[in-house]
Amino acid sequence: MGGFFGVVSKEDCVKDLFYGTDYHSHLGTKRGGLAIKAQDGLNRFIHNIENTQFRSKFDQDIVNIQSKSGIGVISDYDDQPLLIRSHLGNYAIVTVGAIKNVESIVKKSFKTRWLHFSEMSRGEINPTELAAALINQGHTFEEGIQKAHDEIEGSCSMLILTAEGIYAARDKLGRTPVVIGKKQGSIAATLETCAFPNLGYKIEKYLGPGEIVFITEDGYEQRKAPEKPMQICSFLWVYYGYPASSYEGINVEDVRNRCGAILAKRHPVEIDFVAGIPDSGIGHGLGYASSAGKPFKRPFVKYTPTWPRSFLPQDQAIRDLVAKMKLIPIRELIDGKRLLFCEDSIVRGTQLKGTIQRLYDVGALEVHMRPACPPLLYSCKFLNFSTSKSEMDLAARKAIKDLEGEGEVDLKKYSQYGSEKYRAMEDRIREKLRLTSLKYQSLDDLVRAIGLPKEKLCKYCWNGEE
Ligand code: SF4
């Protein structure tokens, strides 16, 4: 998925840039990068952060530099920021999102015979380079960014660092947030607002879909008004957003608490205590426990001092092993007890199956599960956020295959909450995971917990509707 942070200041702002970017490290990525305006032009640093934290790779880079403006990125796999020399001038660019029509844009651009792209491994093209090529077709940055937004299928939010300031632009349908913050002498743009409080920034403005602003040390100026239609990613609140962040003015932890509370009202059950699968299930679990009037406990604790992030190793077996090693069960809490777990979502279900088995191994009598969102039926096609490599690996799709066999299936019937097909799928997943009970959140209740109008939220991974 990735995230970015940019800042323009009257003073040196390298520390803000460094920590502001670092606060996007949870977004599960492989590359980190910073670009600053130096005395002799733009300068940048990119490191592989697959097996180490952003901070430890960059702390030496920033020791000897000073700058009053810069942008930083935690990127999914591609090298960023890129330094571009074009008719618009020299600039640095970072992007977040996913360009799904790379091939058709590249084909079209080759007709000019002027353009070429540097290939990454496996023949892929760096999506940020592609976005820059589209931007360079404009007479101005504003026109170029709009051109990129119009051509790109998927999404592309960006920060562009120039000698005069920073352009911040949110993707056309606002799938990812871009937020402006301010403190005395400095203005910043961020994806995650959790980057702001400890650096002293206050939220100033949530950019609307497709909106462009230009930031200088004196303030910021709207360069393109927002579009009306919005499709912000609902999964931000459910899973990958940081609890201390807010999007559209709605805090992540608050939404998770509301999700849990709604689940407790809809699907009560006799249990001894409530828990959350760490980390993203915790907020949902706390909401369930307080609404149900049951204690919240931590039957699993996460060992974080040494383990890097579990989703980074390429090999699934190693990822599963790391995930297992990080969660330590506490027998004294589990033995002889009826437990209810809240979880953000069930993706493939393989790690979860192992986690549930470990609870039985240390004496759990019953294990109930309440995921905070409906069964995932489709892979995301708008962000570089992969719920699963193949849709057929999704726990819900595997359950449907068990029920229907190979061949064409009408998935709509399975996405209708409470329908016969839906209940059969839910029960099949429950059986496979060896759960005592499994009740998913309905899409309507998830939308209620978020609190935005339904038409403003992307819900594609649950209902397949664009
Ligand atoms: S498909 Fe799912 S993960 Fe992708 S943007 Fe929509 S809600 Fe978010």
Residues 393, 373: Cα–Cα separation, whole Å: 18
- The rounded mean pLDDT for the chain is 93
Q: Would you say the CB of residue 380 lies under 6 angstroms from ligand 1?
A: yes
Atom of ligand 1 nearest to the CA of 234: 7
Number of helices followed by number of strands (H, E) in the chain: 16, 23
Task: Report the largest interatomic distance among the alpha carbons of the chain, rounded to a whole angstrom.
Answer: 71
Q: Can you give the pLDDT at residue 110?
A: 86
Q: Is the pLDDT of residue 136 over 60?
A: yes
Confidence of residue 310 (pLDDT cuts 50, 70, 90): very low
At 204-217, the pLDDT tens digits run 999 999 999 999 99
335 C-alpha to ligand 1 centroid (Å): 38
Q: Would you say the CB of residue 460 lies under 6 angstroms from ligand 1?
A: yes
Structural domain boundaries of the chain?
3-230, 253-451
Q: Which of 175, 458, 459, 463 to mutate to test the pocket of ligand 1 (most atoms within 8 A of CB)?
A: 458
Q: Would you say the CB of residue 250 lies under 6 angstroms from ligand 1?
A: no
Q: Would you say the CB of residue 461 lies under 6 angstroms from ligand 1?
A: yes
Confidence of residue 268 (pLDDT cuts 50, 70, 90): very high
Length of the chain counted residue by residue: 466
Q: Using alpha carbons, select from 141, 143, 170, 175 the residue that is nearest to residue 157.
A: 170
At 13-70, the pLDDT tens digits run 999 999 999 999 988 668 899 999 998 899 999 888 887 788 888 888 888 889 999 9
> Which backbone phi and psi does 181 adopt, to 5 degrees?
-125, 155
Please tell me the class of the 253-451 domain.
alpha beta
Q: Would you say the CB of residue 379 lies under 6 angstroms from ligand 1?
A: no
Indicate yes or no: pTM above 0.75: yes
Collapsing DSSP to helix, strand or coil, 366 comes out as strand
441 in Cβ contact with 372 (< 8 Å): yes
Which residue has the CA at smallest separation from atom 4 of ligand 1? 380
171 in Cβ contact with 157 (< 8 Å): yes
341 in Cβ contact with 367 (< 8 Å): yes
10 Å CB burial of residue 156 (0-12, 13-18, 19+) is buried
What is the average per-residue pLDDT within 81-109? 94
Q: Would you say the CB of residue 233 lies under 6 angstroms from ligand 1?
A: yes
44 in Cβ contact with 83 (< 8 Å): yes
385 C-alpha to ligand 1 centroid (Å): 8
235 C-alpha to ligand 1 centroid (Å): 6
Q: Is the pLDDT of residue 338 over 80?
A: yes
Q: Is CATH 3.60.130.10 correct for 3-230?
A: no
Under the phi-then-psi rule, with left for phi > 0, alpha for psi from -120 to 50, and beta for the rest, what region is 288? alpha
146 C-alpha to ligand 1 centroid (Å): 22
DSSP per-residue codes, 12-28: --HHHHHHHHHTTGGG-
Q: Would you say the CB of residue 234 lies under 6 angstroms from ligand 1?
A: yes
Hunting for tokens 């209740």 — which residue is that? Answer: 445
What is the average per-residue pLDDT within 66-92? 95
At 357-395, the pLDDT tens digits run 999 999 999 999 999 999 999 999 899 765 456 889 999
Which one-letter amino acid corresponds to residue 151?
E
3-state secondary structure 208-277: CCCCEEEEECCEEEEEECCCCCCCEECHHHHHHCCCCCEECCEEHHHHHHHHHHHHHHHCCCCCCEEEEC
At 290-307, the pLDDT tens digits run 999 999 999 999 887 766
Which residue has the CA at smallest separation from atom 5 of ligand 1? 233
Which residue has the CA at smallest separation from atom 8 of ligand 1? 233
378 C-alpha to ligand 1 centroid (Å): 9
